[in-house]
Amino acid sequence: MKKFEKFTGIAAPMPLVNIDTDMIIPKGFLKTIKRTGLGVHAFDEMRYDRAGNEIADFVLNKPQYRKTEILIAGDNFGCGSSREHAPWALADFGIKVIVSTSFADIFFNNSFKNGMLPIVLPAEQVELLMKDADRGENARMTVDLEAQEITTSDGQVIKFEVDAFKKHCLLNGLDDIGLTLEKAAAIDSFESQSAQSRPWV
């Protein structure tokens, strides 16, 4: 996984609440057996009409937001399915950070596995960033994971919380499986104990 580095990018406002995984990547695109190439289908049914033409007033189709790297979203982003195709599609589009007041658990976890940073902030701060993002490509925000700070286009600094382990993995581009396999001895010993205490498993 690529290391998550400090960057400055365009933020797009998506104030709709409960943006679900079916909106992020409709089921028609779950039939791939690859992880890549889904960016063009991110938000497909909101972004294109049935003939495949872009819907002009969808935020990511507007000229100033076509290179969005930060989404400022309404409450409960990513609710619904466990499909990792949702973060794959967003990451492939170029999204690196999503800010909301809350995320669905599975989507939240899936994002970290794909080098993306979901940030939870209180409603007032999301509102402030939403307003900033509304200013189009003039609103370039800086996200510094190391310092746990978002800097708005006019220099306002907003601190955010992040799980220490997840932060460490993102900053260093670490692969979870590799980390877990270092604990193989503990898994072995759990299994042999469990073979005694719960032999039916």
Residues that bind another protein (CB under 8 A): 15-18, 20, 22-23, 26-28, 30-35, 45, 50, 74-76, 79-84, 87, 102-106, 109-110, 113-114, 163-165, 176-177, 179-181, 183-184, 186-187, 190-191, 194, 198-201
**Amino acid symbol at 153:** S
Of residues 93 and 103, the one with the C-beta less far from another protein: 103
Minimum distance between the CB of residue 155 and another protein, rounded to whole angstroms? 27
Minimum distance between the CB of residue 71 and another protein, rounded to whole angstroms? 15
**Amino acid symbol at 190:** F
Distance CA 140, CA 97 (A): 13
Of residues 8 and 189, the one with the C-beta less far from another protein: 189
Of residues 79 and 141, the one with the C-beta less far from another protein: 79
Burial of 183 (C-beta count, 10 Å sphere; 0-12/13-18/19+): exposed
**What is the DSSP pairing of strand 117-120 with strand 157-159?**
unpaired
Could you tell me the two tokens for 146? 């190391």
**Amino acid symbol at 14:** M
Of residues 113 and 135, the one with the C-beta less far from another protein: 113
Reading across the β-sheet that carries 68-73, which strands appear in turn? 117-120, 97-100, 68-73, 7-14, 140-144, 149-151, 157-159
Minimum distance between the CB of residue 78 and another protein, rounded to whole angstroms? 11
Minimum distance between the CB of residue 30 and another protein, rounded to whole angstroms? 5
Could you tell me the two tokens for 62? 């507007």
Minimum distance between the CB of residue 24 and another protein, rounded to whole angstroms? 11
